Amino acid sequence: MRWMIGTWVRRLAVVIWIPALWVAFGCAPSPRSVPCSNDGECWKASESFRYCLQSHCVECVSRSNCGEGNACIEGRCEIHCRKDRDCPAHQVCKDDLCGPL
């Protein structure tokens, strides 16, 4: 019985700490690296993943998913900007495109 509790505690630590480290260090999963069978699984993996395409999570499937004037390139929204405030949180405007800090 004691070994079962220890195993459960280790599993719980992995389930809690790995996502916490992703958030803390900005290491969100990249598109097409998260397998899925429906859109709901993608929402659970990351807020930026909206769609399940060819069994992998992606942010977009067409440019209409990314907002006016933006493009969908290989499942990621390419967001055009003029200033940092035009970009989502934790991104900056560089060469008229939003990107990581």
Task: Measure Cα distances from 55 to 27, 52, 60, 67 in Å.
Answer: 21, 6, 14, 24
Please tell me the predicted confidence (pLDDT) of residue 54. 92
What's the one-letter identity of residue 82? Answer: R
Helix (H, G, I), strand (E, B) or coil at 1: coil
Task: Please give the chain's pLDDT, 101 residues, in tens.
Answer: 555 555 544 553 433 434 433 333 334 445 557 899 999 999 898 888 899 999 999 999 999 999 999 999 999 999 999 999 999 888 999 999 999 88
